[in-house]
Amino acid sequence: MGFPAPFCTAIKALYTDLRAQTLNTGVPKTPVPLSRGTRQGYSFSPLLFAVNLEPLLLAIRSDPEIRGIELAHKPFRVSVYVNNVLLTLADPVRSLPLGQRV
């Protein structure tokens, strides 16, 4: 999406070598490395999720073969709220195989 290299480097630094630690009866346990995902409440994660999801959404919206329903004379194909994606397709049998291209 055209982000400058220093910005990408900073993001990588924030998400490299993540560890999580739990408390059991008030006693901290040994930190555990996170190999997937991030810690709950990590404030930058929702924005990073949105930036990563946007190319897929652009591809769905711009493909004329993926037909959504029409609302107020405008095509409506996809809706995203938080981490939920809703596809509203007029012809899902025909449109869904096209998703393999995007």
Torsion of CA 64, 65, 71, 76, to 10 degrees: -80
φ/ψ of 18, rounded to 5, equals: -75, 145
Backbone angles phi, psi at 63, to 5 degrees: -80, 110
| 12 against 40, higher pLDDT | 12
| pLDDT score of 90 more than 80 | yes
Q: Which segments of 1-101 does DSSP mark as H helices, in order?
A: 5-14, 45-62, 92-98
Q: What is the pLDDT of residues 30-89, one digit of tens each?
A: 988 887 777 677 777 788 888 888 888 998 888 888 888 888 888 888 888 877 888 888
Grade residue 22 by pLDDT with cuts at 50, 70 and 90. Answer: confident
Q: Are 1 and 55 in contact (CB under 8 A)?
A: yes
Positive or negative, the CA dihedral 36, 46, 79, 7 is negative
Q: Which helix (H) or strand (E) holds 33?
A: strand 32-33
How confident is residue 102, by pLDDT bands cut at 50, 70 and 90? low
